[in-house]
A = this chain, B = another copy of it.
Amino acid sequence: MTNPTAAMLVIGDEILSGRTRDGNTHYLAGELTARGIRLMEARVVPDDQAEIVAALNALRARWDHVFTSGGIGPTHDDITADAVAAAFGVAIDHRADALALLQAHYDRAGQEFNAARRRMARIPEGARLIDNPISTAPGFSLGNVHVMAGVPNIFQAMVAGVLAGIAGGAPLLSQSLRVDRGEGEIAGPFADLAAAFPDLSMGSYPFVQNGAYGTNLVIRGTDPGRLDAAMLRLQALFGAGQ
């Protein structure tokens, strides 16, 4: 069985200008990996409809799922919903169920449900709403594209909602070994081991601690028995006392 694939599309000038550091991609990556969905690609694009449409159409044609983050608030720079509608070639308008959710939310808060806030009920035709338990304004899924807020706690809540409804795959497992040697010292035998386990993915990640070089060796795959077998070989090569 092959694992489903996914891409992440982060939308927002604030990421590209360096004002904000994106953390949603890292969060999504961990959640997908735990569910056996492979994150194959991530992109960041500005608040520009043509850029969003081009990236969305490239990604949704290629991967099983596309997750987006950002641009669904009430202000003029929130253009993601319109861009998604344009990418799919469908209409977009205020939708009754989304309006009702938001009307009730602002009534409870004693705040005016003004035109800007009504913008958050603009949903492309044919989309399914994604629940927002934090601040009500919904995300939506259209085809294989899941459109979520950029604010991290809302993004995370929406991801949970989406992942509950889509099929995962065999969990993507990993095991790692920390070696107190530089990468260049272990690269040869490590490459040989990787060649002996072509069904696993092996990576090495160098670090410096207290002035000394070290390397984290990571083995990834879906078969726990194969991971154990490779880890035994790895420990025999580089484990404590070797």
Contact = CB atoms under 8 A, between A and B. Distances in A.
Contacts of A40: 16, 46
Contacts of A43: 41-44
Interface residues of A, number: 69
Interface in A85-131: 111-112, 114-117, 119-120
A203 B18 contact: no
Contacts of A18: 26, 28-33, 39
Given A18-B33, A201-B13, A218-B19, A74 B184 contact: yes
A235 interface: no
A117 to B, nearest CB: 4
A47 interface: yes
Interface string A15-31: 11111111101101111
Interface stretch (A157-165, A187-195, A224-232): A187-195
Contacts of A45: 41
A66 to B, nearest CB: 14
B13 A21 contact: no
Contacts of A178: none
A151 B206 contact: yes
Contact of A188 (B19, B116, B153, B218): B116
Interface in A155-203: 172, 174, 182-188, 190-191, 194-195, 201-203
A77 B203 contact: yes
B17 A75 contact: no
15 contacts: A17-B39, A17-B174, A18-B26, A18-B31, A21-B26, A41-B51, A75-B183, A76-B195, A77-B194, A111-B182, A111-B185, A114-B185, A115-B188, A119-B187, A151-B207
Given A16-B41, A18-B32, A111-B185, 15 more contacts: A14-B205, A14-B218, A15-B25, A16-B38, A17-B29, A19-B174, A41-B51, A42-B44, A74-B187, A76-B191, A76-B194, A111-B182, A114-B184, A116-B188, A153-B208
